[in-house]
């Protein structure tokens, strides 16, 4: 499973617009990424990248931080946390540049779960992070009491079978748990989203989605039934341009929450504070945005 070149190319023109702080026309982009070539040679690749940006604009639910036409892109002035830019900058650390790229990338992998959970809550979904560290995220450190707390918060009358937990269990192959609405506490069996957060290469997304998909349901009686399970995988990559056959294969297994879907959820009307650890990482990512080596990341067909 691979992403089309237009995904990286679109990331690159967004970073270029962010760095420039002004409107970049197709002529400006040609000079930057196609030195020595004329507009006719550059046009097909630039058209594809700008088309992808317009698709992102439509998919993000009103908080996409760029204005886009068929011939230009402009960065909108940002004065506070922006979910799209957080995911874009975190993902773009793979291009290198900042002296702290490795440590920032590690923190991004950890905080990605918090952003997914926060975005779900912004759209009104009750959501909890099961993976460690649990205490800073509002759950008990030990797995068994954390699971019971989740059942209570989701109002799911399920009984935990501690005898089915293993000594080295961490999160039962689920990073984030969410429900469309809290149950009424009568009988178990309400739908539940069991989300794996995947920040690795896109080639591993399908395996991440399928791996351990039934584990969580094995430790309960009278609730969290397998029939109500909706497996999901969240990724900071933009999958709008993923080949249709790949998308079909992924969606046979569960709900795919890519970058634009996370941002769409984050555009919801519920007031939810940005987690402190996410705000701290956002400040650090913002401070190194001009150091990211996006200039050489453009993928040109051989």
What is the pLDDT, as a whole number, of residue 300? 59
- Which residue has 């056959």 as its token pair? 245
Please say whether the beta carbons of 165 and 219 come within 8 A.
Answer: yes
Sheet holding 66-68, edge to edge: 24-25, 72-75, 66-68
Provide the token pair at 214. Answer: 């039934």
What is the pLDDT, as a whole number, of residue 161? 97
What is the pLDDT, as a whole number, of residue 226? 92
Please say whether the beta carbons of 194 and 232 come within 8 A.
Answer: yes
What is the pLDDT, as a whole number, of residue 301? 46
Provide the token pair at 1. Answer: 């499973």
Least Cα distance to 235 among 7, 80, 74 occurs for: 7
What is the pLDDT, as a whole number, of residue 302? 34
pLDDT along the chain (302 residues), means of 10: 89 96 93 85 91 96 94 94 98 93 96 98 98 96 97 96 95 96 92 95 90 93 94 96 93 95 97 97 96 87 40
- Write down the pTM of the prediction: 0.94
């Amino acid at each position: 499973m691979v992403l089309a070149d237009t995904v990286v190319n679109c990331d690159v023109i967004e970073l270029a617009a962010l760095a420039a702080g002004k409107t970049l026309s197709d002529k400006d982009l040609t000079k930057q990424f196609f030195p020595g070539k004329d507009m006719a040679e550059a046009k097909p690749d630039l058209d594809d990248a700008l088309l992808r940006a317009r698709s992102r604009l439509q998919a993000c639910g009103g908080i996409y931080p760029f204005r886009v036409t068929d011939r230009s892109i402009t960065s909108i002035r940002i004065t506070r946390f922006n979910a799209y830019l957080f995911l874009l900058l975190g993902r773009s650390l793979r291009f290198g540049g900042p002296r702290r790229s490795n440590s920032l990338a590690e923190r991004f992998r950890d905080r990605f779960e918090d952003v997914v959970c926060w975005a779900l809550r912004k759209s009104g979904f009750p959501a909890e992070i099961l993976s460690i560290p649990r205490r800073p995220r509002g759950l008990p450190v030990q797995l068994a009491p954390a699971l019971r707390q989740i059942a209570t918060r989701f109002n799911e009358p399920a009984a935990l079978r501690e005898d089915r937990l293993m000594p080295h269990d961490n999160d039962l192959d689920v990073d984030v748990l969410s429900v469309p609405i809290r149950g009424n506490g009568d009988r178990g069996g309400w739908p539940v989203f069991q989300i794996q957060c995947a920040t690795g290469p896109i080639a591993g997304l399908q395996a991440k989605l399928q791996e351990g998909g039934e584990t969580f349901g094995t430790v309960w009686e009278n609730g969290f039934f397998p029939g109500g399970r909706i497996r999901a995988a969240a990724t900071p990559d933009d999958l709008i341009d993923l080949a249709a056959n790949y998308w079909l294969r992924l969606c046979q297994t569960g709900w795919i929450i890519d970058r634009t879907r996370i941002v769409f959820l984050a555009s919801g009307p519920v007031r939810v504070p940005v987690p402190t650890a996410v705000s701290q990482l956002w400040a650090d990512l913002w401070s190194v945005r001009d150091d990211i080596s996006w200039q050489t990341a453009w993928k040109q067909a051989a």
